[in-house]
Amino acid sequence: MKVSREQMAENRRRILEVASRLFKDKGIDAVSVAEVMKAAGMTHGGFYGHFTSKDDLVAQALAHALAADSFGDGDFSSFVRSYLAPRHRDNPGNGCPTAGLAAVIRHQTPAALAAMSEGLRAQIARIEQALPDKGIADKRRAAIGSWAAMIGAVILARAVDDPQLSDEVLEQTRAWIDSHTG
Protein backbone atom coordinates (compact mmCIF):
# COMPACT_ATOMS: atom_id res chain seq x y z
CA MET A 1 0.00 0.00 0.00
CA LYS A 2 1.45 3.33 -1.09
CA VAL A 3 1.69 6.10 1.49
CA SER A 4 0.53 9.58 0.42
CA ARG A 5 2.96 12.48 0.26
CA GLU A 6 1.10 14.10 3.16
CA GLN A 7 1.37 10.94 5.28
CA MET A 8 5.10 10.69 4.49
CA ALA A 9 5.57 14.28 5.66
CA GLU A 10 3.57 13.60 8.83
CA ASN A 11 5.58 10.43 9.53
CA ARG A 12 8.84 12.34 9.06
CA ARG A 13 7.67 15.13 11.39
CA ARG A 14 6.70 12.55 14.02
CA ILE A 15 10.08 10.80 13.75
CA LEU A 16 11.91 14.13 14.12
CA GLU A 17 9.86 15.13 17.17
CA VAL A 18 10.28 11.76 18.87
CA ALA A 19 14.01 11.65 18.10
CA SER A 20 14.50 15.17 19.41
CA ARG A 21 12.70 14.37 22.66
CA LEU A 22 14.61 11.11 23.17
CA PHE A 23 17.99 12.67 22.34
CA LYS A 24 17.40 15.54 24.79
CA ASP A 25 16.17 13.16 27.49
CA LYS A 26 18.67 10.29 27.19
CA GLY A 27 21.54 11.61 25.09
CA ILE A 28 22.28 10.95 21.45
CA ASP A 29 24.49 7.91 21.91
CA ALA A 30 22.01 6.21 24.27
CA VAL A 31 19.18 6.25 21.73
CA SER A 32 19.01 3.75 18.87
CA VAL A 33 17.25 4.14 15.55
CA ALA A 34 15.03 1.18 16.49
CA GLU A 35 14.02 2.96 19.72
CA VAL A 36 13.14 6.14 17.83
CA MET A 37 11.05 4.29 15.28
CA LYS A 38 9.24 2.25 17.93
CA ALA A 39 8.45 5.40 19.94
CA ALA A 40 7.16 7.01 16.72
CA GLY A 41 4.88 4.01 16.19
CA MET A 42 6.68 2.80 13.07
CA THR A 43 8.86 -0.10 12.05
CA HIS A 44 12.63 0.10 11.91
CA GLY A 45 12.55 -0.71 8.20
CA GLY A 46 10.78 2.54 7.38
CA PHE A 47 13.63 4.63 8.75
CA TYR A 48 15.68 4.64 5.55
CA GLY A 49 12.79 6.04 3.57
CA HIS A 50 13.31 9.25 5.56
CA PHE A 51 17.00 9.38 6.58
CA THR A 52 20.30 8.06 5.25
CA SER A 53 21.77 7.25 8.67
CA LYS A 54 21.49 7.94 12.38
CA ASP A 55 23.89 10.87 11.86
CA ASP A 56 21.46 12.29 9.30
CA LEU A 57 18.61 11.85 11.80
CA VAL A 58 20.61 13.59 14.55
CA ALA A 59 21.35 16.63 12.37
CA GLN A 60 17.79 16.89 11.08
CA ALA A 61 16.18 16.31 14.49
CA LEU A 62 18.39 19.02 15.98
CA ALA A 63 17.54 21.47 13.19
CA HIS A 64 13.83 20.63 13.61
CA ALA A 65 13.93 21.13 17.38
CA LEU A 66 15.91 24.37 17.19
CA ALA A 67 13.55 25.82 14.58
CA ALA A 68 10.61 25.14 16.88
CA ASP A 69 12.40 26.43 20.00
CA SER A 70 11.36 30.00 20.62
CA PHE A 71 9.83 32.11 23.32
CA GLY A 72 7.25 33.46 20.93
CA ASP A 73 5.89 36.95 21.28
CA GLY A 74 6.10 37.09 25.07
CA ASP A 75 8.35 39.55 26.79
CA PHE A 76 11.94 38.64 27.57
CA SER A 77 11.51 38.72 31.34
CA SER A 78 8.70 36.15 31.18
CA PHE A 79 10.81 33.96 28.91
CA VAL A 80 13.72 34.08 31.37
CA ARG A 81 11.43 33.17 34.29
CA SER A 82 9.95 30.18 32.47
CA TYR A 83 13.29 29.02 31.07
CA LEU A 84 15.09 29.23 34.42
CA ALA A 85 12.36 27.36 36.28
CA PRO A 86 12.34 23.94 37.97
CA ARG A 87 9.70 22.74 35.50
CA HIS A 88 12.07 23.29 32.56
CA ARG A 89 15.05 21.89 34.45
CA ASP A 90 13.14 18.74 35.39
CA ASN A 91 11.84 17.96 31.89
CA PRO A 92 14.82 17.81 29.53
CA GLY A 93 12.99 15.74 26.92
CA ASN A 94 10.45 18.50 26.44
CA GLY A 95 12.88 21.32 27.09
CA CYS A 96 15.34 23.41 25.17
CA PRO A 97 17.42 21.48 22.63
CA THR A 98 20.40 23.76 23.20
CA ALA A 99 20.56 23.07 26.94
CA GLY A 100 19.85 19.39 26.34
CA LEU A 101 22.41 18.79 23.61
CA ALA A 102 25.01 21.58 23.54
CA ALA A 103 27.52 19.66 25.65
CA VAL A 104 27.47 16.58 23.39
CA ILE A 105 26.98 18.11 19.96
CA ARG A 106 30.71 18.72 19.49
CA HIS A 107 31.10 14.95 19.07
CA GLN A 108 28.59 14.85 16.20
CA THR A 109 28.82 15.43 12.47
CA PRO A 110 29.50 18.74 10.73
CA ALA A 111 25.81 18.82 9.74
CA ALA A 112 24.77 18.61 13.40
CA LEU A 113 27.26 21.35 14.34
CA ALA A 114 25.89 23.51 11.52
CA ALA A 115 22.33 22.98 12.79
CA MET A 116 23.39 24.01 16.30
CA SER A 117 25.18 27.07 14.91
CA GLU A 118 22.12 28.16 12.95
CA GLY A 119 19.87 27.61 15.97
CA LEU A 120 22.21 29.65 18.16
CA ARG A 121 22.28 32.52 15.66
CA ALA A 122 18.48 32.53 15.43
CA GLN A 123 17.96 32.45 19.21
CA ILE A 124 20.45 35.27 19.80
CA ALA A 125 18.67 37.36 17.18
CA ARG A 126 15.25 36.68 18.80
CA ILE A 127 16.59 37.64 22.23
CA GLU A 128 18.29 40.74 20.85
CA GLN A 129 14.97 41.89 19.36
CA ALA A 130 13.06 41.13 22.56
CA LEU A 131 15.38 42.97 24.93
CA PRO A 132 14.05 46.27 26.23
CA ASP A 133 15.64 49.34 24.67
CA LYS A 134 16.24 51.17 27.92
CA GLY A 135 19.63 50.91 29.55
CA ILE A 136 21.22 48.43 27.17
CA ALA A 137 24.02 49.95 25.15
CA ASP A 138 24.92 46.77 23.32
CA LYS A 139 21.89 44.54 22.80
CA ARG A 140 23.84 41.84 20.99
CA ARG A 141 26.30 41.48 23.88
CA ALA A 142 23.39 41.35 26.33
CA ALA A 143 21.59 38.77 24.18
CA ILE A 144 24.65 36.51 23.90
CA GLY A 145 25.52 36.88 27.57
CA SER A 146 21.97 36.24 28.72
CA TRP A 147 21.50 33.21 26.48
CA ALA A 148 24.86 31.74 27.52
CA ALA A 149 24.01 32.28 31.20
CA MET A 150 20.59 30.67 30.75
CA ILE A 151 21.96 27.61 28.93
CA GLY A 152 24.77 27.21 31.46
CA ALA A 153 22.41 27.59 34.40
CA VAL A 154 20.07 24.86 33.14
CA ILE A 155 22.98 22.51 32.40
CA LEU A 156 24.47 23.10 35.87
CA ALA A 157 21.10 22.88 37.64
CA ARG A 158 20.52 19.49 36.01
CA ALA A 159 24.03 18.27 36.87
CA VAL A 160 23.91 18.48 40.67
CA ASP A 161 22.29 16.21 43.23
CA ASP A 162 21.54 19.03 45.66
CA PRO A 163 18.01 20.41 45.05
CA GLN A 164 18.72 23.61 46.99
CA LEU A 165 21.87 24.35 45.00
CA SER A 166 20.06 23.54 41.76
CA ASP A 167 17.23 25.95 42.60
CA GLU A 168 19.74 28.59 43.69
CA VAL A 169 21.60 28.36 40.35
CA LEU A 170 18.33 29.03 38.50
CA GLU A 171 17.21 31.82 40.85
CA GLN A 172 20.53 33.66 40.95
CA THR A 173 20.95 33.46 37.18
CA ARG A 174 17.45 34.95 36.75
CA ALA A 175 18.37 37.76 39.13
CA TRP A 176 21.69 38.39 37.37
CA ILE A 177 20.03 38.58 33.94
CA ASP A 178 17.31 40.89 35.26
CA SER A 179 19.96 43.22 36.70
CA HIS A 180 21.87 43.32 33.39
CA THR A 181 19.06 43.59 30.87
CA GLY A 182 16.37 45.70 32.39
SS (H, E, C) 39-106: HCCCCHHHHHHCCCCHHHHHHHHHHHHHHHCCCCCCCHHHHHHHHCCHHHHCCHHHCCHHHHHHHHHC
CB contact at 8 A, 60 and 149? no
Indicate whether 11 and 26 sit together in one domain. Answer: yes
Last residue of a domain, one of 28, 43, 65: 65
Indicate whether 53 and 82 sit together in one domain. Answer: no
Provide the whole-model pTM. Answer: 0.88
Q: Give the chain's residues under pLDDT 50.
A: none
CB contact at 8 A, 58 and 109? yes
Domain that holds residue 29: 5-65
Indicate whether 95 and 133 sit together in one domain. Answer: yes
Indicate whether 81 and 38 sit together in one domain. Answer: no
Indicate whether 9 and 88 sit together in one domain. Answer: no
CATH number of residue 37's parent domain: 1.10.10.60
What pLDDT is attached to residue 70? 66
Indicate whether 76 and 48 sit together in one domain. Answer: no
Amino acid identity, position 21:
R
CATH number of residue 126's parent domain: 1.10.357.10
Residue 8 DSSP one-character state: H
Residues with Cβ within 8 Å of 119's Cβ and at least 6 positions away in sequence, in order, are: 62, 63, 65, 66, 67, 69, 97, 98
What pLDDT is attached to residue 75? 85
Indicate whether 91 and 175 sit together in one domain. Answer: yes
Q: How many domains does the structure of the chain reveal?
A: 2
Q: Tens digits of per-residue pLDDT, 123-171? A: 999 999 888 776 667 889 999 999 999 999 999 999 999 999 999 999 9
Indicate whether 55 and 80 sit together in one domain. Answer: no
Indicate whether 155 and 109 sit together in one domain. Answer: yes
CB contact at 8 A, 68 and 117? no
